[in-house]
Every structure is written in structure tokens, then in C-alpha cells.
Chains A and B, each alone.
Chain A
Amino acid sequence: MKKIDIVVGARPNYIKAFPVYEALNKTGNFDLRLINTGQHYDDNMSNIFFRQLGMKKPDVDLSVGSDSHAVQTAKIMIKIEKEFLRKKPDLLIVFGDVNSTIAAALTAAKLNIPIAHIEAGLRSFDRSMPEEVNRILTDQISTYLFTTSPEAEKNLLLEGKIKKQIYFVGNTMIDSLVKFEKLFNCSDLLIENKLIKKEYILVTLHRPSNVDNPSKLKDVANSLNMISEKTEIIWPIHPRTWGKLNQYKILLNERINITKPKGYLEFMGLQKNAKFIITDSGGVQEESTYFGIPCFTVRDNTERPITVNRGSNILVGSDFTKLFDVIIECGKKEKRRNLLPEKWDGASSERIASIIINNIL
């Protein structure tokens, strides 16, 4: 039986990996092993995850924890190499753009283990993002590239990858959304915060450029305070960001409801029922497109342009002092079209499984 290692390291990875694991497992053709690098350690992000979704627990846990980018990447490489040498997988599957993705891929490449990269070809063309570097490098050493959009394929071809390596399969994260959508529920949270469906704004911010620098954080707070005068906000906030706000005595309007980070099902409920979303995350841009909820992405670029061109995502730039005006301006325009990107249909993992069976292993 051919052996496949599937490596996950952070929350977005689980969502993308779970349906792929299931689809491969269902075929009964493979000896699968799920390796969790432990790049994120946080109960909401991992344990609850397995409980809520009934996702298979990892077979191997490398427990690397958080550290500087280089050290984290290094630790994963050192530990995962031992696993690869022990099991000698016939294929490695990695996802997305986190440090675990490149660390596992690089180690496998040196051992001549073929690599399949799921969510290949995304490019923000902003090298200052560590994720961009991870994406570019992982794609270069992957043999099989599974893409979520035609743009991704174009990016890969421009970098010298060849057509027959590339498989446009759609978005496996959407598979998870489709599968679990019935379970998405944030009613308790809304009651607790006295919020009404479709009458609140969901805010998620996690990029260091937005939440680490005190003067930037002040801009963020000012702009959210203004926006919340019009519509109430709910902001699941990372404890570190909350600490920063307190440390620098940055005050938030009481119409901004602060909560702890939420589990997957509850957080998806918050997205689905929001009036609109303000985010700097990659995954939320795609999820909101699936839900058809307008999403203001406070970044200067996106590696997921299809969510802007077809979906409900609006790239507004990272200047928070302008955010209020931009949102008002958008509200005046006629309603945006909102199309679901091609093959974001819940069947992407099935496509991947059948390609692996027919063309790869």
C-alpha cells in the first residue's frame, strides 16, 4: 500500500486538510499518516477543532510551538526529517503557506520524496510577507500543484512550472464549509453580546503590521470606533492584541464587542450572519466569498484576487484612517455582483483523491 504523509501546522491547514484526508481515506488505497507540527498551540485552534469536527487526531505530533520564523522552520525540519526517514512516504501533501508547509516540503525534497502542494500558485507579489516566501519556495519544489483558481495556474506557469504538474481542483477549504455549514452557529454569542443577525460587523485582525505597532493599533481603534457608531462590531481578539491595547491605553467604543478567539463552528457562524466583515486574514477572504458576505480586506494586496474579481471581497488598502470613508463610499454604490469561483463546490478533495489515484501513485 502506498504511503502518504499529510502535514498540518496551523488552523487554516486543518480546515484544508481534513476533507482531503477523508477523501483519501475513503478510497482505502493508501497508508495515511497525519503529522501535526504543533506550530500553533492554542486550545481553540487545535483540540476543540478535533472535538467539534470529529477530525482524525494526528498520528504524530511534533509539538514545535511558537518561535521566530527561522527557528520554528528549523525545528520542524529537524523533527520531521526523522519521521520521513522512519516511514519513507511515497508522497507528502502540504497545504497553504505557513512555516510548516515550507519546512516539511524542503525536508522531503532533500529526501527525494515527491510533494503535492494544495493551494499552490497564490501570489500577493509582496515579498515582505513571510507567507509569500513560503508559497513561492514550496511551489518550486513541489511535483504536483493543486490550485484553487485559474490565476494561480498562470502564476505558476510564469515561474517556469509546467502545465502537466498543475491541477485546477478548486478549494478544499470550501469542502469543509459545505460539509459543516449546517453546524455553524453563533446564536449564544450573539445573545450574550446583544447582537442581531445581519446587523453587526465582524472584525478579525492578526497581521503583525496591523496589531503589533502601537501607532498603527491606534489608527485601527480610531477607525473601528467611528465605524461602530453606525453599526455594532464584534471583534474576536487575540490575547496578545488585547494586551497591547491595554498596555498603550487605547480605548475602544462600547459598541465594539470584544470576545476571545472562537472555535471554528462559532466563528463561521459569525461570518455567515455578519452584515459585513473587516479582515486582514487570507482564509476569511475566501470564506466570506463563499457566504456572499461583503468583506473589506485591509491590506494593500491579496494573493486571492479571485475573491475580489468574482466574490464579495473588497481590497481597501491598509490605511485605517481612510477605512471609514471607504466603507461609506462602498455602501452608496449599487450592490456588487457576487459569484462563487469555479470549482468552489465542495468536491475539490474528491478531485484531488482521484488525481492521486489515477495520475500520481
Chain B
Amino acid sequence: MSRAFREFNKTSDKKIEEIIIHTGQHFDKNMSEVFFTELEIPHPNYNLEIANLPHGAMTGRMLEAIEVVLKDEQPDYVLIYGDTNSTLAGALAASKLHIPIAHVEAGLRSFNMKMPEEINRILSDKISNLLFCPTEIAVINLKNEGIVSGVHNVGDVMYDVTLYYREQAKAKIELSKWNVTDGNYALCTIHRAENTDNLSRLQSIFDALREIAKELPVILPIHPRTRQLLKRLDKETWLKSINILEPLPFLEMLRLEMSAKVILTDSGGIQKEAYFHEVPCITLRDETEWVETVEMGWNKIVGADKEKILNAYQSYDIELNKKHQQSPYGNGNTANKILEILINEKN
């Protein structure tokens, strides 16, 4: 979106001022500081530095701090993205001050209320005035909850991002950095509480990874929380034969995603990115918000069951013909569409 704002300001008489509030929810340097630098996103105007708290306290503290900023800045819109605590806190703060809210990535549902992200999504959508859906299914989800006004299917902003940075990643970063070659390794990410906080799920996943590692290098950029947990439980042997990395900067992650033979993940975004790169995905969760990827055969939802993970891994070779269908995520022009709607609504 920042890029779209910049481009717009270059050519338009009316200028859009973007004020970025960073809540600090992700505290790891690789996960956010580098993010801003690498993606050429302007640095946040505000850094609230709220992290490492239980969900209730975190959302509460963000709510307080965001309200202060919104009162000072008096924005015309508050844009929120995705489904984090920051998303919901931003929405709540804006809603209490009657500032119109635009939710990017609206309408996604996993239908599992045990996920904190699902709560964040549903509530953010309920109080948003403009709902920018990445897919038609998201539009339908909202309709089923009685939300029809302000809903726009604009495609997926992450597709914009992926297209834009893919070439950059390819030019700048060599796979040899990790001692792997194109199409000859598996990439894995695990970060969701349902996996990292559940020892038997975690063990089952690592058992499967070790099995895969017998024939294919497995690369796992590990979340600091997962690493700490394994250390504490003295289970670091689970990591044997897996290529463990620190959390990766965005471009490096993108580089690894695009050339993997298969991606195993419990992340929401990565399932879809795998599809953008035409890499088969095995999702280590019991449900997904990205049902389109499953319907098209590019994603299998297997949970944490070792056998299911291995089955999915083995069956991909036979099943998939790598022909890209019509993308359900738009044409990579999402940010501009959003911008256009924001401007029209304002006029």
C-alpha cells in the first residue's frame, strides 16, 4: 500500500499522507526492522513497542496507545491489515473515536474460534466500514455474517507484494547460501500456538520432517518461541538432520519459498505465497482460510499427524500437474484498486 500511496502522490495534486503505526507486536529484529528497510516501506511514524504480553494485556495496551495517536493525528481512515492483535486493537481504537476503518484482507475465516486470529478477523470485520476482500469466498463469508455494504473484492495485496519482490529476490540472493539447489529442498515454518504449545503435535511434526529429511534437505527458519520451548524441554534432538535457520529477512524467505520443492507450514500467508510461486504446500493445521489453494490442488490440510504429512508429501509428485489455473487472488494490482476506492469514498 505504501508504494501505491507514493506512486499516487507523484502524479496527483491531492496528496495522501500515510502515517504508519507499528505496535511492536513482533519483536524480533529480523521480523520487522529489516522488513521496513528491505521492502522500502517508510519507517513507522510511531513505534509503540508493545510486545511479549498475554493476548488480553497486549490488545489492551495497544488500544490505549493507538487511541492517543489517533486523537493527535485525526486521520480520515484507519487502515488495518490481516488478523493480528494489532489489527483488532487498531480497529477498536478507531471505532471508539468514529474514524472510518478499512480492513485489508477482510472476510477470511477458518471457522475455528480457538484461534486468536479468527477472533481478530471476525471482530475487525464487524467494525470496519470498508472491507477489502482478497477473494470471492471472503466476500461470501462476510455476506453470511450479514455484512454486504462496503465490501469490495480487490484481490490479494500479498500477490502484489510477491510479484514485485520476486525478481529482486532472485537477482540478489543465491540459493547456494543455504547449500541447496532449485527445486531440491523442502521449506518449513512453524509458529502457531496450536502447534508450538502442544508438545505431541510438535513431536509428530518433527518426526515427519526428519523422515522427509532422509531424502530431501529440510530448511526450517525457526521462530524464537519454538526454539526456546525445545531448549527448555530438552528436545533439541528433534532438530537433528534438519537445517535450522534464524528467522529470515523477507527477501531471503521469498527466495527460499520460490524455489522449494515443497513447503510445509502452519502460517496463513505462506500457504498462499506457495501457490503464487507454484510450489505445492502442506499445511500443518486442521483448517485453512485459503480454501481456494486446496480446491485447486496446491495445498493439503493435514494437521500435525505424521502419517498424513508424509502421505501428502509423497502424493504430490503424482497428483500435481503444474499448470496454473486462473488465479482467484486477482491480478497483482490490488493496492491500486484499494487506493482508488479509498479516494472515491472520501470524495
Contacts and interface: CB of A to CB of B under 8 A. Distances in A.
A70 B96 contact: yes
Contacts of B97: 70
A277 B244 CA distance: 71
Given A75-B60, A77-B59, A133 B54 contact: no
Nearest to A115: B113
Contacts of A133: 95-96, 127
B145 A74 contact: no
A330 B61 CA distance: 50
A110 B119 contact: yes
B55 A110 contact: yes
B124 to A, nearest CB: 10
Contacts, number: 88
Interface size class of B (residues with CB under 8 A): 20 to 34
Nearest to B122: A140
B145 A106 contact: no
Contacts of A160: 144-146
Nearest to A76: B60
Nearest to A71: B64
B94 to A, nearest CB: 9
B104 interface: no
A136 B126 contact: yes
A109 B92 CA distance: 16
Interface in A54-82: 68-71, 73-78, 80-81
A342 interface: no
Contacts of A77: 56-57, 59-60, 63
Residue among B56, B92, B98 with most chain A CB within 10 A: B56
Interface string A110-129: 11100000000000000110
B59 A110 contact: yes
A158 interface: yes
A188 B95 CA distance: 44
Given A133-B95, A160-B145, A141 B57 contact: no
B93 interface: yes
Contact of A71 (B54, B56, B67): B67
Contacts of B57: 77-78, 81
Contacts of B145: 159-160
Interface string B101-116: 0000000000001101
B34 interface: no
B1 interface: no
A137 interface: yes
A137 B96 contact: no
A85 B54 contact: yes
Interface in B16-66: 54-57, 59-64, 66
Contacts of A243: none
Contacts of A231: none
A282 interface: no
A130 interface: yes
Of the listed residues B92, B114, B122, the one surrounded by the most CB atoms of chain A closer than 10 A to its CB is B92
B312 interface: no
B12 to A, nearest CB: 31
A26 B108 CA distance: 43
Contacts of A222: none
29 contacts: A68-B67, A70-B66, A70-B92, A70-B93, A70-B96, A73-B60, A74-B60, A74-B64, A77-B56, A77-B57, A78-B60, A81-B54, A85-B54, A106-B59, A106-B123, A107-B55, A110-B54, A110-B56, A127-B127, A133-B96, A133-B127, A136-B127, A137-B123, A140-B122, A141-B119, A143-B113, A158-B146, A159-B145, A160-B146
Interface of B: 54-57, 59-64, 66-67, 92-93, 95-98, 113-114, 116, 119, 122-123, 126-127, 144-146
Given A74-B61, A106-B123, A160-B146, 10 more contacts: A70-B66, A70-B96, A74-B64, A103-B60, A109-B119, A111-B55, A133-B127, A141-B119, A141-B123, A160-B144
